[in-house]
Amino acid sequence: MPTASSSLDTLCIHAGQHADPLSGAVMTPIVLATTFAQDGPGAHKGYDYSRAGNPTRTALEGCLAALEGARHAVAFGSGCAATTAVLLTLKSGDHVLCGDDVYGGTFRIFDKVLKQFGLEATFLDMRDPARVAEAIRPNTRLLWMETPSNPMLKVFDIAAIADVARSRGVPLAVDNTFATPMLQQPLALGATLVVHSTTKYLNGHSDVVGGAVMTSDDALADRLHFLQKSVGGVPSPFDCYLVLRGLKTLGVRMKRHVESARGIAEWLEKHPRVAHVRYPGLASHEGHALAARQMKGPGGMISFDLRGSLAQASAFLRALRVFACAESLGGVESLAEHPAIMTHASLAPEARHALGIGDGLIRLSIGLEDPRDLVADLEAGFAAAARV
C-alpha cells in the first residue's frame, strides 16, 4: 500500500487497491454482483446494492481521490454525469459563473437541460481574475472552469480565482480533464471540487466512458454520494476496473504525451499552412508563464488554425492516416477533430466565433505513436488541403 508521502507515479499504481484477501490476487476483482447478502436486515459488510456502492468502484474512487489529493472521490458513468451531479447540488434560482470555453456537452447541460429547471449560468473569459470578482452575483453559488480549456486551450489562474471564490463564499469547480492530476492539482491550488471525464487521459485507451468528482469537503462529498445513488448515473464494475488499469500507466503516458505535443506544436508554429497555434507550452501562448507556474507540463492537446476554408480543413482531416478523425482525446492513439462541426456544434455560431472556433480550427490529441510518424501524417494532411 502507498504511504501518505508516495509520489503520484506510485499512487497511480497502488492507491485504493490491495491484494484480494481471499486469494492474494494483485489486481482488483471485478465484482459484478448487483446485491450483497446481509446477515440480517441492515447487517451488511458495507455494501447492500451495487448502485449505492460496489467494491470495484470503491477501489477506483480511492485511487482517484489519492491522485487529486482529495479526501473523497465519487465515480460516475460519464464526465457529463459527473458534471450534472455537481450542478444538482444547486437549486432553482442559483447562478453559476462558468468559464467561456468549455466542452460543448458541458455548455449543453447548462443551456438545454438545467436552464429549464431554473439554474442560471453566465459564461466569462476568466483570464482576468478581477473580471471574475465583478461578475459574481448575490445568487452565484458555483464557479466552474476548465483549464486548459476545450478547445481553445485558455489557461486560467486557479489559485487567483480560488481566492476570489473563497472571499465570496462560493466553491470553485475545476474540470481537470485536459491536464490530469499528473500535471495540475486544482485542490492544492484552492479549488473545492475537481471534475474529470475519465473517458480521456485517466483511462487512456478510448474504451471506457466515465467520470468522477473529487473533493475534500465532507458535506459536498456526502451530497454527491447521495446524488450518485439517487440519480443513479453510476459506472459499471467492469468500466471501473478498466479505468483502474489505465491509471497504472498514467504517469508514463503523460510524460510522453507532453514531450510529443511540445515538439509537434513547435513544428506546427513554423508551418506555412498554419495561421496560429494554441498550446500552453509555446512562448506565443498568452498563458505560457501561468501554465509553467501552475502545471507540471503543458499537456497533450493542441489547437491550430489552418490557413484556408472549411473545404481545406475537411480535406486535411480526410487525408490523415495515423490520426483518426474522431471526437474525444487522451487515448494512446492520436485523434484530430473539427470543433465547429464536431465537439462544439451545440454552441451558437456567434458564440463559437467569439471564442475563435472558426472553420479552420483543428484540435489534435497527441497520442503515444512515434512523433515522426505523426508529423509525416500532418504533412500529408497539409498537402491534401493545398490541393483543394
Q: Which residue, 197 or 314, is less far from ligand P1T as judged by CB?
A: 197
CB of 99 to ligand P1T, least distance (A): 11
Sign of CA dihedral 116, 121, 122, 126: negative
Report how far apart, in Å, the C-alpha atoms of 252 and of each of 208, 326, 364 are: 20, 24, 20
User: Is 103 an annotated catalytic residue?
Assistant: yes
* DSSP summary character for residue 110: I
User: Is 51 an annotated catalytic residue?
Assistant: yes
Catalytic residue among 100, 101, 175, 239: 175
Q: Which residues lie below 8 Å from residue 79, measured CB to CB, with a gap of 6+? A: 103, 105, 175, 177, 195, 196, 197, 198, 199, 200, 209, 210, 211
CB of 210 to ligand P1T, least distance (A): 6
Here the cell at position 218 is 465532507
CB of 186 to ligand P1T, least distance (A): 13
Catalytic residue among 57, 200, 262, 363: 200
CB of 127 to ligand P1T, least distance (A): 18
Burial per residue of 22-44, b for 16 or more beta-carbon CB atoms within 10 angstroms, e otherwise = eeeeeebebbeeeebeeeeeeee
Name the strands in the sheet holding 301-306, side by side, starting at the edge strand that comes first in the sequence. Answer: 274-278, 301-306, 361-365, 335-337, 324-325
User: Is 200 an annotated catalytic residue?
Assistant: yes
Binding site for ligand P1T (CB under 6 A): 78-80, 103, 105-106, 146, 150, 175, 177-178, 197, 199, 209, 211, 327-329, 343
CB of 147 to ligand P1T, least distance (A): 10
**CA separation for the pair 235, 251 (Å, rounded):** 23
| Contact between residue 80 and residue 38 where contact means Cβ atoms under 8 Å apart | no
Catalytic residue among 47, 101, 103, 154: 103
Catalytic residue among 48, 51, 168, 256: 51
Sign of CA dihedral 70, 76, 78, 83: negative
| Contact between residue 76 and residue 235 where contact means Cβ atoms under 8 Å apart | yes
User: Is 48 an annotated catalytic residue?
Assistant: no
Q: Which residue, 29 or 356, is less far from ligand P1T as judged by CB?
A: 356
Q: Which residue, 47 or 110, is less far from ligand P1T as judged by CB?
A: 110
Catalytic positions: 51, 103, 175, 200
